[in-house]
Amino acid sequence: MEHVSTSQMSPLPFLKGHGTENDFVIVPDPDNTVGLPAAAVARLCDRRAGIGGDGLLHVVRSAAHPEARHMAGEAEWFMDYRNADGSVAEMCGNGVRVFAGYLQRAGHVEEGELSVATRGGIKKVRLAKVPSGSGTATGDITVFMGRAELPEDGVTVSVGARSWPARNVNMGNPHAVAFVEDLAHAGELRTAPQCTPASVYPDGVNVEFVVDRGERHVAMRVHERGSGETRSCGTGACAVAVAAARRDHLDPAVTGVAVTYTVDLPGGRLVITERPDGEIEMTGPAVIVAEGLIDPVLLETVTA
Ligand SMILES: N[C@@H](CCC[C@H](N)C(=O)O)C(=O)O
């Protein structure tokens, strides 16, 4: 075991932001000099002993990160996303809007189209000009999320005595989407729902519970891998929109017509469009609520 001493470190700048109340600690670290082992991330995301967040956005130049160097020619910035428990995830839809909003606010990028490197590949983001007087809100941001994969796996989601058939949707990260009669049937979601067969999700899964609200309008709750129940999940909303479209016998690749679903989450609303070429566009807000300095003691941890 190696002890990471922080006594020589200076306080570390951070920001706090959210996208439809899916909240993140943002750590700007262009040159990738801040070690962020899982335990340090979990401490920063702790809502009582840390800053608090559903996840952490480590903002690094792609060229400075071994996992993103190969994307540096196309995307200057890498979203090194971590869940609240410190685990790594391929993608975070709300996170990438907040990430882009932070880059714009910090003056690293301007309005227009931006490419962001993620573990799930390069995502394009459309940034509007931030109107003066808009405070900490960046306004709506659109992310081009790539295509969904929907393998037919016969997944079942269970909470307590209730079970539902679910759709396996991969948005770069894994999802199980269950249509339910009432969102309250998912219970308190203090622990992860059970997904079977477990072999479909060897690395864990994000689970969405969905009800209909109207034509092409749904509402959902989500239990996120590595974070627990959150108030929103962008990749989850995309997975839900595509699962709902297929259930409603709508496939833009077949009809040649784009399909849009409005997805309501406990923390706000996201609008998801699937295009005939399979590309999924997600539009929603991003807000930076605070900035400050992290006491290096908070990062003091032991690593194996
Ligand atoms: N909240 C995110 C998804 C974050 C990653 C997820 N918990 C996972 O482990 O796959 C979103 O907005 O997409």
CA of 34 to the centre of ligand 1 (A): 22
225 is in an annotated binding site: yes
Q: Which domain holds residue 272?
A: 155-278
The answer to whether the CB of 207 is under 6 A from ligand 1 is: no
Q: Looking at the domain assignment, is residue 150 inside a domain?
A: no
Q: Tell me: do 247 and 130 sit in the same domain.
A: no
Q: How many domains does the chain contain in total?
A: 2
162 is in an annotated binding site: no
Q: Looking at the domain assignment, is residue 8 inside a domain?
A: yes
Rg of the chain over Cα atoms, rounded to whole angstroms, equals 19
Classify burial at 226, counting beta carbons within 10 Å of its beta carbon; exposed 0-12, middle 13-18, buried 19 or more.
Answer: buried
Identify whether 195 is a catalytic site residue. no
**pLDDT truncated to tens, each residue of the chain (304 aa)?**
344 455 567 899 999 999 999 999 999 999 999 989 999 999 999 999 999 999 999 999 999 999 999 999 999 999 999 999 999 999 999 999 999 999 999 999 999 999 999 999 999 999 988 766 655 566 799 999 999 999 988 999 999 999 999 999 999 999 999 999 999 999 999 999 999 999 999 999 999 999 999 999 999 999 999 999 999 999 999 999 999 999 999 999 999 999 999 999 999 999 999 999 999 999 999 999 999 999 988 887 544 3
Q: Tell me: do 243 and 221 sit in the same domain.
A: yes
Q: What are phi and psi of 253, to 5 degrees?
A: -65, -30
Q: Are 278 and 134 in contact (CB under 8 A)?
A: no
- Full-model pTM: 0.95
Q: Tell me: do 167 and 255 sit in the same domain.
A: yes
What is the residue whose two structure tokens read 């590309």?
A: 279
In 3D, which of 227, 223, 202, 222 has the Cα closest to residue 82?
Answer: 227
How is residue 270 written in tokens?
A: 């996201």
CATH value at residue 34: 3.10.310.10
The answer to whether ipTM exceeds 0.85 is yes
